[in-house]
Amino acid sequence: MELTDLNLQQLQEQLAQGSVSSVDATRAYLDRITATNDNYNTYITVCEAEALAMAEAADKRISAGDAAPLTGIPLAVKDIFNTEGVKTTAGSRILGDFVSPYDATAVARLKQQGAVLLGKLNMDEFAMGSSNENSAYGPAKNPWDTERVPGGSSGGSAACVAARQAVATLGTDTGGSIRQPASHCGVVGLKPTYGRVSRYGVIAYASSLDQVGPVARTVSDCALLLQGVAGYDTADSTSVDRPVEDYLADLQGGVKGMRIGLPQEYFIDGLDPEVQQAVEKAIETYRGLGAEIVPVNLPHTDYAVACYYLIATAEASSNLARYEGVRFGRRVDNGKGLIEMFCSSRAEGFGPEVKRRIMLGTYALSSGYYDAYYLKAQKVRTLIRQDFNNAFDQVDLLLTPVAPTPAFKLGEKVNDPLQMYLSDIFTIPLNLAGTCGMSVPCGLTGEKLPVGMQLIGKPFAEATLLRAAYAYEQAGEWQQLRPE
């Protein structure tokens, strides 16, 4: 057994017993990253010296009896989190040389607990994408099959966990960016309720949808990492001032008597038969564990992708206006003047998908089209949220597939943006509604590709979500999947 085989909970125990040091564990991960990063392209930046210094400090803290739950645990974060003194690119050329002057709150909380930060993970540029192919630093690869995408936009965060290049990671999820790659890589990923984790210092894509969350090997590990970053933050005006539950306290409570809804609109033609089979088997497992399975309806599901691509792009066009080549980021000055400098810096700094979304969002917000597109989408968003509210009047949780297919091949969808967008059809509605959801491994296809199921909880019901996921994980045969 190698040190990198220990999950978060196991490493935590060994660190507490003194049988393993954080420095040893950190070295093991750094070695593994060196040996495998060319294959997977998961890390954009590796913080070797900083990580070892953090590990040494963690070991001192542990021997002094001052350990927090994440002290000494080697973690990595998506390259969208500002990290003081470390390059933070958001997967973009325009931030290729950007060294952040401060820490995102989520990163600061990990540091306060004495966690070790191994580095910054690959992602679709500005979190826009479902395959990681929009990264300016080349796509991360799926460790189950390196000819396939790891999913996106937090593809690096999910692939890194599957490849055992960190104990666990943080990602962000705007339309499925944690859950879809977690599903494609066979790991556990959780998108908390909007407002549960601070977005301060997380480079913004679509501010009313973005949310920070954990990716890990097990449900318990996911709970531990969420516990470490969740909570109110005065620096994020949209974070919610509400106590954080103890996510581990009730984890083993089981699902007996729990009402689990199956949204009929999610089990559609076009769903890959192997995905459907795996999810149906999971439903049977829940039935066997004593949950009550209830059909429900989310009638506006079919409108979610259209709604999302207006709201998210509108917000993106506004958020990304800050990259103008003056205060930070790449400047391309053609000597023609200020506005011309803005225009060429942005044209050369942004990749095609980011430009496409900025253009779409600018159009949706422009005079004469605002009511027809942006306002219309905001009203449809209300209808989508009402669907979830109505469903949650009848059930405690919803269970669906995460993605219509397993991981697709690199290059398969790059030339058809709309097809790429439609791969997020089951994950997008949650972000619009603002509720929480997670991806839990529930099978392997004949080609040995992981399949994930999505559990959806009421707003701020992360504890219930984790409890149900844990019950399945313990009962099922898909614990801690790993590629050969």
- Least distance in Å: CB of 121 to other proteins? 21
Closer residue to other proteins, CB minimum distance, 78 or 191:
191
Q: What tokens appear for 431 in the block? A: 């972000």
Closer residue to other proteins, CB minimum distance, 145 or 210:
210
- Least distance in Å: CB of 345 to other proteins? 8
How far apart CA 77 and CA 79 sit, in angstroms, is 6
Considering the candidates 22, 92, 100, 153, report the single residue annotated as catalytic: 153
Closer residue to other proteins, CB minimum distance, 233 or 473:
233
The residues, any chain, with a CB within 8 Å of residue 3's CB and separated by 6 or more, are 11, 20, 24, 25, 28, 29
Give residue 186's region: left, alpha or beta (phi > 0; psi -120 to 50).
left
- Least distance in Å: CB of 71 to other proteins? 27
Closer residue to other proteins, CB minimum distance, 124 or 145:
124
Catalytic residue check, 78? yes
Catalytic residue check, 345? no
Burial 369-383 (b: 16+ CB within 10 A, else e): eeeebbebbeebbee
- Least distance in Å: CB of 252 to other proteins? 30
Q: How far apart are the first and last CA of the chain?
A: 15
Considering the candidates 21, 22, 78, 100, report the single residue annotated as catalytic: 78
Q: At CA 359, angle to CA 358 and CA 361, rounded to 5? A: 65
How far apart CA 443 and CA 279 sit, in angstroms, is 8
Question: Which SS3 state, helix, strand or coil, does residue 99 take?
Answer: strand
Q: What tokens appear for 277 in the block? A: 């089979």
Helices 376-394 and 304-319: crossing angle in degrees, nearest 10, is 120
Q: What tokens appear for 341 in the block? A: 């400098």
- Least distance in Å: CB of 214 to other proteins? 20
Considering the candidates 21, 92, 135, 177, report the single residue annotated as catalytic: 177
Closer residue to other proteins, CB minimum distance, 16 or 326:
326
Catalytic residue check, 177? yes
Catalytic site positions: 78, 153, 177
